[in-house]
Amino acid sequence: MDYKWGIKDTLENQYNSKTGAYQYVNSRDSIITKKVLLKSDDILYIHSKANELGLWNFPDTIGVKSAKSMSVPRYDMLFQYKEKAKHVVVYGDFDGNPKLLDAAMQMRKIIEETINQAEKRSGK
């Protein structure tokens, strides 16, 4: 799983579950780089929630890149399996189907909370 988020075209915040590479901008605008590995239970949890929320049925892009979207968060989620992959980009100012946006935001929250819990466990 690759997960990236940020404002405009710069997705300074990112996580890669294969390598454990985790980079984010903290409250002081400093870029923090760490190695945070997810347990197999964490990965199973994220993927079960993805199935539950219907990630495989999400469109590849939720919202559109526009002048307005350049000042709101953008989330980029890539799930890769041996035989299939799903890449979804979500623009925070999406004004279409609210159920779709809600499901995408739930997925984002699940990923972020799982990474944060793994970071706390690692004590780094």
pLDDT at position 72 is 81
User: Where does the pLDDT of residue 107 fall: very low under 50, low under 70, confident under 90, or very high at 90 and above?
Assistant: very high
- What is the three-class DSSP state of 4? strand
User: Where does the pLDDT of residue 97 fall: very low under 50, low under 70, confident under 90, or very high at 90 and above?
Assistant: confident
Answer yes or no: are the C-beta atoms of 2 and 81 closer than 8 Å.
no
End-to-end CA gap in the chain: 21
Q: CA-to-CA distance for 88 and 77, rounded, in angstroms?
A: 5
Residues forming beta bridges with residue 61, ordered by sequence position: 89
- For the ranges 10-24, 63-77, 78-92, 94-108, the lowest mean pLDDT is seen at 63-77
Q: CA-to-CA distance for 35 and 15, rounded, in angstroms?
A: 9
Q: In this structure, are strands 85-91 and 61-62 parallel, antiparallel, or unpaired?
A: parallel
- What is the three-class DSSP state of 28? coil
The rounded Cα 39 to chain-centroid distance in angstroms is: 17
